[in-house]
Structure 1
């Protein structure tokens, strides 16, 4: 597998040789000093160019990066609407396991790019000295932040209300419907509440990663094990147990945060728990 030095040399050598490429940035986890590097990190790179159409007409210039197992061009897909505006991306997985997510932007869109940036950006090459401000990569935008009283209540409301769809799905024996609402609605709000409470205890000065992937590092072991158990959704009994465990965890963390921030604790808990138990006794 090619190492980081080899991959960065490929990315920059191409940019230096091609006069159409005027500026190069690196984004994502490779710019984040709080992320331990590993072989699975993508190379998230942007080329700011003078002639977008010429790159798109003839894609042989991509061959310099090596033999590809697969490439995806999100902005050239019909099923999934494009999200990059004027950008055009090539997501490439290579035979040696390296992955480059390479995006082309018109050079005139540079100011808009920085305005919309999440902060995890480094400028690798600037042929024309276009970037006049200091660019220091930071994950500050992803730090846990203190919720407002309204945000706290909205999270509680969403968790408890969406959980009723899980209950309905289980009662109707529609397990995929129930799984979708537990995974896509209830549990994400449990994780959000957990993160808020962690921030209240440790300070709102760090991130626990995309998709809460580092939350195990800051949760008590018993709560981490309980949270993992809620991903057991292979049967109706398992689903009911996962739902009730989510209830217990959400109740624990939302009550604790309400005390910590002096926010009123909503009555959704008691009402929906009673409703769920009634349905469970009748249909489980």
Structure 2
């Protein structure tokens, strides 16, 4: 498997020898000093180019990066509409296991790119000195966000309201409907509330990672194990159990957050719990 030095050398050599490529940036986890390096990280690279169409006429120019075993071009798909406007990306997996997510961006959109950057950007090559300010990669945009009163209320409201959909789905025998709402709304708001409690304890100055992937490092072991149990959803009884476990965890964390910030914990918890209990009793 090619190492990071070899991969970066190839990416920069291609850019250096092609006059159409004027600026190169690196994005994502490889710019984040708080993320440990491993072989599974993508190389998220953007080439700012003067002639987009000339690159898109053929994919042969990509062969220099290695033998591909798979490639996706999101902006050339019908089922999933493109989201990058004038940009065009190539998501490539190579036979040695390396991955490159390469995006072509018109040079006239340099300013727009940096204005909308999430902060995790490093300039690798700037032939025309287009970047006038120093760019220092930072994951600040992903730090745990301190909640406002409205954010807290909205989180509680969404958690308890969508919990009724989970119960409704289970009552109807629609387990996939129930699981989807449990995962997409109920547990996601539980994780959000947990993150706020972690911020209270350890400061709102770091990120828990995409999909809260580092949250286990900051939760008490008992709570982490309970959270994991909410992912066991292989039958209807398991989904009921997962839902009620979410209730218990959410109460604990939301009440703690409420005390810290002097928020008001909603009184509809009791009414919704009773309502859902009546549904379960009749299933």
Q: Is the TM value for this pair above 0.5?
A: yes
Equivalents in 2 of 1:164, 1:207: separation in Å? 31
Q: Distance in 2 between matches of 1:209 and 1:268?
A: 32
- The answer to whether the Cα contact below 8 Å between 1:86 and 1:106 also exists between their aligned partners in 2 is yes
Alpha-carbon distance between aligned partners in 2 of 1:125 and 1:59, rounded to the nearest angstrom? 23
1:90 aligns with 2:90: yes
Q: Counterpart in 2 of 1:175? A: 175
User: Offset at 1:115?
Assistant: 0.4
What is residue 58 of structure 1 aligned with on the other side? 58
Structure-2 separation of matches of 1:200 and 1:76: 44
TM, length-normalised to structure 2: 0.99
| In 1, Cα distance between equivalents of 2:186 and 2:263 | 21
* 2:282 partner SS: helix
Structure 1 gap segments, 5+ residues each: none
**In the alignment, which residue of structure 2 is the partner of 1:17?**
17
**Which residue does the alignment assign to 1:185?**
185
User: Residue 28 of structure 1 corresponds to which residue in structure 2?
Assistant: 28
* Corresponding residue for residue 250 of structure 1: 250
Question: Residues 104-253 of structure 1: matches in 2 within 5 Å?
Answer: 104-253=104-253
**1:201 deviation in Å?**
1.3
Corresponding residue number in structure 2 for 1:4: 4
> 3-state SS of the aligned residue for 1:63?
helix
Query: For 1:239 and 1:158, how far apart are their aligned partners in 2?
Result: 19
Q: What corresponds to 1:101 in structure 2?
A: 101
Residues of 2 paired with 1:58 and 1:101: CA distance?
17
Task: Name the structure 2 match of 1:69.
Answer: 69
- Tell me how far 1:268 sits from its aligned partner: 2.4
After the TM superposition, list the runs of 4 or more consecutive aligned residues in structure 1 that deviate by more than 4 angstroms.
Answer: none
Give the CA RMSD over aligned residues: 0.5
Measure, in 2, the Cα distance between the counterparts of 1:14 and 1:268: 60
How many aligned residue pairs are there?
283
1:4-62 Cα distance to aligned partner (Å, 9 max, x none): 00100110000001000000000000000000000000000000000000000022110
Question: What TM-score does the superposition give when structure 1 sets the normalisation length?
Answer: 0.99
Please report how far the alpha carbon of residue 81 of structure 1 lies from its aligned counterpart in structure 2 after TM superposition.
1.2
> Does structure 2 conserve the Cα–Cα contact (< 8 Å) formed by 1:156 and 1:268?
no
User: What are the ranges of 5 or more consecutive residues in structure 2 without an aligned counterpart?
Assistant: none
TM-fit CA distance, 1:280:
1.0
> 3-state SS of the aligned residue for 1:89?
strand
| Deviation by residue 1:142-168 (Cα, 9 ceiling, x = unmatched) | 000111001100000000000100000
Contact 1:23 1:49 survives alignment (8 Å)? yes
Offset of residue 89 of structure 1: 0.1
Q: Following TM superposition, by how much is the alpha carbon of 1:92 offset from its aligned partner in structure 2, in angstroms?
A: 0.2
Deviation of the 1:102 alpha carbon: 0.1
